[in-house]
Amino acid sequence: MGLYSVCKSLLIFSVACCLVPVILIWYPFVSVARRIWLCLLRWQYPTLAFSPTNTVRSIADTTRNPGILHIVLQVQGEIWDAEGIKKKMFEHVLERRNKDATLAFPFMKRTLTHKWGHYAWADDASNFDIDSHIIFSQEGYRGRPVTDANVQLFLSEQSSKFLPLNLPPWQIILVPIYQPQRAHSSTSDNPTPTMDHYYILLRFHHLLLSDMPNIRICDLLLVESGKPATLAEKEDEDLQDLPFSNLIATPTSILELYSRITVAITNRWNEFIYRHDPLESPDGFKARVRELPQLLSLLLIAGVCVLSDFWRGYHAIREHPSEKLKFFMSLVRREVRRRNLSWDIVGDCVLDAVDPIAITRRTVRGFFWLVGQAIVIIPFAIIRECMAIRCCLFLGHCGYPNTIIGFLFEFIPLVFAAMLETIEALWLIVIGPKCLLECLTGHGGAHGIQAATICGRKVIAWSEIVERQQIKECAKRCGASESEITLTMLAAAIGDALEGYADTPVPEIVDVSARSVHQDCLLGRMSRNYGVDGVICIPLPLGGGGKDHVLAMREALLVARRKNIPLYTVTGIETRRTVMTNVFTWVWIKLLTNYLSKKFCITITDTVEDTKRRYRTLWGHAVSDMIYFRPPMANTSLSLTLQKFGSHIRVGVIADAELTPCHHDIARSWTNYMQQFSRRESWTK
């Protein structure tokens, strides 16, 4: 890093520090104003339940471009009867009750409306009709049965329709896939179609997850957590290739130093309690407290016990301060009773501290203790220190941990390593504002999709599956990783789509945003707050999908992972705690979101398989594939998903309908590029 870059980092960091007091002053004003406005809305519309969610997506949503998540499941077996699936939905979701007999998911039967910048749920559950939400599609597609050849067109057409505003914002479409049965004899001219798998399309508004924290996507899909993978399938779980996750290295030395310090303090504290606490001593209450050091030790132990119990039970007590004070005083009285403390004991200890006879006795006892230390303990300790020095010099380790040399030999390297990690963390904080500014300004050129007019209707497509083992073999032969290969072919497909979409020249680099989503968040019980990682911005190099393109992609990923640590951290905290939306007003957030989504109008999502599991529906059918479509936000018009499921990977595309047929072109081109790259690597083997 040159001198100019260092000066620029310090200047931007100084400006950011100057803005911190302004933000701290602005935060309470924005919070109070927002609460007052929400109270006014609740008073004006008493029949509506206003959403407490205050996220960037909820602020950026519009009526024509809401955040509707799309998930497609491929399920093995003949489709179950529609009435049975509706009954499962009622039992598992719609009529599920809490322990207090209230509905667990009350907003599943309510419509969503928008009042003065706030989402609100209408109290119209009495008009709920499940037949409008679980649709068993049997009419086919344009007069023909739905097959694997036209299922994408059929589901894309269904996705392009807006969810009705007068119904709760979720919908499940069941699509059976018919295959012509082969004739076993020449007499069967019209074989009966058979069905061995079917598709489930789930569409729902993102506020269903935000306003009902206990619901999961697997509840809406009626999928149960699968069985763990076998030992053969777990071999590569710890070697996952995560291009958009784990940007921040875990500070191992700091954690190790913290662990050792806490263990040492805990051991010393337990030893102190054993020696001075009557409840833990072997003699119990037989030894009466007569000296002032004994009394001070007991008071310290009792005080720590009171504070620790008060901290554990603080949130279980009602919010009123008087109730918390009563709880604290009850803990004090309990410790006084347990240790038989009284004012008489305090008086005796004070008198003993000023008694000349007691002072003389303690002086004589201390003198003989010092003599014993000088004659026996100190020489023995010196011998042990010398043996520890010899062990460190000639053996390279210290076998005397209870010595001063052993302590220094163990902790000095650890302290220095922790100091280096602390300095690195502080330097990341210093250069953070500059890196954040550089990431958001981007380096890519303008392209045709940025100028596209968004209509709000969404179309979907997906590629053919590619075996992950095949990609790993190709990556091993060319010295790359699985993610670098898949991203390179995706960049090549994006370049082809840009060439065919508009007459504008295709840039060499396109700015895209990317993030990771954990599969346990989609089909498991992981919370969305912890299943979605932070965002990074990547200057995606376009090319022809060759080895040179792979090398350029590797360099782009390395640079992006190094520079996007501040952005990744800020967006990760925002996903979990919604800090930014509580500091800035909606107008600022909406303007910033519109600008960034226009610049980074292409977004990529990588699904992370935490544990390989086999998933099944509640009626017992195995889930053979899943495709997650992350909804575009604000001016984002093209969202791509690198969907890993089991042993294969594919690309899912959701785009604004105005970009048709770009979504099909990208999915088709990615499959072609992957096949061509695999053949080239096989020939050069």
Per-residue model confidence as pLDDT tens digits over 163-204:
888 888 999 998 888 776 554 444 444 445 567 788 999 999
Give the pLDDT confidence score for residue 204 in this predicted structure. Answer: 92
Measured in degrees and rounded to the nearest 5, phi and psi for residue 175 equal: -125, 105
Bridge partner residues of 200 (DSSP):
73, 174
**Would you list the DSSP string of 44-72?**
H-TTEEE-----HHHHH--SSS--EEEEE
Residue 662: its pLDDT value, please? 86
pLDDT score for 209: 87
CA distances from 319 to 316, 322, 380, 394 (A): 9, 9, 58, 62
Q: What is the pLDDT of residue 677?
A: 84
- Whether 109 has a pLDDT exceeding 60, the answer reads yes
Q: Is 629 helix (H, G, I), strand (E, B) or coil?
A: strand
In 463-608, where do the E strands start and end? 466-467, 509-518, 536-541, 602-608
Strand 509-518, strand 118-122: pairing: unpaired
**Given this model, what pLDDT does residue 627 score?**
92
Beta bridge partners of 174: 136, 200
Handedness of CA 223, 227, 230, 235 (dihedral sign): positive
Could you report the per-residue pLDDT of 225-283, keeping only the tens digit for each?
766 655 444 445 445 678 888 888 788 888 888 888 888 888 888 888 887 777 766 55
Closest CA to 211 of 167, 172, 168: 168
Report the percentage of the chain scoring pLDDT > 70.
91
Phi, psi angle pair for 540, to nearest 5°: -75, 115
Going from N- to C-terminal start, the domains of the chain cover 45-181+193-221, 252-418, 444-679
Of the candidate ranges 45-59, 419-433, 517-531, the one whose mean pLDDT is the lowest: 517-531
Phi, psi of 638, rounded to the nearest 5 degrees: -140, 120
CA distance 75 to 214: 25
Q: What is the band of 99 on the pLDDT scale with cuts at 50, 70, 90? A: confident
Centroid of chain to Cα 145? 41
- Dihedral pair phi/psi, residue 139, rounded to 5°: -80, -10
Q: Is 460 within 8 Å of 70 (Cβ atoms)? A: yes
45-181+193-221 and 444-679 in the same fold = yes
Local structure of residue 141 (DSSP, 8 states): B
DSSP string, 630-681: PPP-TT--EEEEEEEETTEEEEEEEEEGGGTTHHHHHHHHHHHHHHHHHHHH
Q: Note the pTM of the prediction, 2 decimals.
A: 0.82
Does 444-679 carry CATH code 3.40.50.720? no
Rounded distance between C-alpha atoms, residue 521 and residue 264, angstroms: 38
**Residue 282 confidence (pLDDT):** 58
* Position 286 confidence tier, pLDDT thresholds 50, 70, 90: very low
| Of 518, 462, 458, 459, nearest in space to 216 by CA | 518
Tokens of 672: 């072609």
What angle (nearest 5°) sits at the alpha carbon of residue 590, between those of residues 584 and 591? 100
Mean pLDDT over 299-303 rounds to: 85
Those residues with Cβ within 8 angstroms of residue 96's Cβ, 6 or more apart along the chain or in another chain: 103, 104, 105
* Cis preceding-peptide flag for 661 (omega within 30 of 0): yes
Asked whether 560 and 435 are in contact (CB, 8 A), the reply is: no
Q: In the prediction, which pLDDT does 80 show?
A: 67
pLDDT digits (tens, 9 = 90+) for 388-402: 777 777 776 776 777
Q: How far apart are alpha carbons 410 and 404 in whole angstroms?
A: 10
Per DSSP, the three-state class of 135 is strand
Chain mean pLDDT for the chain: 82
More confident: 228 or 354? 354
pLDDT at 29: 86
Between 557 and 584, the more confident residue is 557
Phi and psi at residue 279, to the nearest 5° = -70, -25
DSSP H helical ranges for 192-251 = 207-211, 217-221
**479 and 644 in contact (C-beta within 8 Å)?**
no
pLDDT at site 654: 92
Distance in angstroms (rounded) separating the CA atoms of residues 262 and 266: 6
Identify the top-confidence range among 279-293, 357-371, 619-633.
619-633
Predicted pLDDT at 604: 92
45-181+193-221: CATH, from 3.30.559, 1.10.1060, 3.30.1490, 1.10.3470: 3.30.559
Instruction: Give the pLDDT of residue 280.
Output: 66
Mean pLDDT of 520-527: 80
For residues 640-665, average pLDDT: 89
pLDDT value at residue 232:
47
Average pLDDT of 96-123? Answer: 86
**Residue 284: CB partners within 8 Å, gap ≥ 6?**
278
Position 651 scores a pLDDT of 93
Q: What token pair was written down for 331? A: 């803990």
Give the residue, 398 or 485, on which the prediction is more confident. 485
What is the distance, to the nearest Å, from the Cα of residue 274 to the centroid of all Cα atoms in its chain? 43
Label each residue of 433-495 as H, E or C: HHHHHHHHHCCCCCCHHHHCCCCCCEEEEECCCEEHHHHHHHHHHHCCCHHHHHHHHHHHHHH
Which residue do the tokens 């119209």 mark? 124
Residue 546's Cα: distance from chain center in Å?
34
| Arithmetic mean of pLDDT, 549-555 | 89
Do 637 and 502 meet the contact criterion of CB atoms below 8 Å apart? no
- The radius of gyration of the chain's CA atoms, rounded to the nearest angstrom, is 33
Q: In this predicted model, what pLDDT tens digit does every residue of 15-34 receive, in sequence order?
A: 888 888 888 888 888 888 88
Alpha-carbon span 668 to 500, nearest angstrom? 13
User: Is 527 or 425 the better-scoring residue by pLDDT?
Assistant: 425
The count of other CB atoms within 10 Å of the CB of residue 635 is: 20
- Report d(CA 572, CA 574) in Å as an integer: 5
pLDDT of 308? 86
User: pLDDT tens digit string along 126-171?
Assistant: 788 888 888 887 767 777 888 888 889 889 988 888 888 888 899 9
- Asked if 517 and 608 count as a contact pair (C-beta separation under 8 A), the reply is yes
Distances 645 to 518, 522, 562, 599, 615 between C-alpha atoms, Å: 11, 12, 28, 31, 11
